[in-house]
Amino acid sequence: MANFKQFPTAPGNARLDEPFLRELVKVINLTGSGKINCTGEFTCTANQASTIVKDISCSPNSTILLTPTTANAATEFGAGSLYVTSATGQFQVNHVNSATTGRTFRYAIIG
């Protein structure tokens, strides 16, 4: 499972000094370029009816957007049997219990 998170995490007690402000500008510029810190990748578990994806950005009210990146993933996605439930720190992708491998998706977590 790949994680595309690229932003540094600011400490809760961050001082507004020059190094911190440089990092803040970097994050703002990345965001303006469409790079958001809530994406990743997973592959559906073969011979299982669901796959758990752990991501600290996730909450029970999150919306999970999926993009198939392989032909097998596109077939699964197009069949209409794929659905997602979110929870704190993870989401569950429910899919067909199949021996098919290579069902790889990228995701974005909103909210």
Q: Where are the domains of the chain?
A: 18-110
pLDDT at residue 13 in the model: 67
DSSP annotation string for 27-92: HHHHHHTT--S-EEEEEPPTTSSEEEEE-TT--TT-EEEEEE-SHHHHHHHHTT--EEEEETTEEE
pLDDT at residue 65 in the model: 96
pLDDT at residue 73 in the model: 96
Determine how many CB atoms are found less than 10 A away from the CB of residue 74. Answer: 14
pLDDT tens, residue order, the chain (111 aa): 555 555 566 666 667 788 888 888 888 888 777 777 889 999 999 999 999 999 999 999 999 999 999 999 999 999 998 999 999 999 999 999 999 999 999 999 998
Rg (CA), the chain: 17
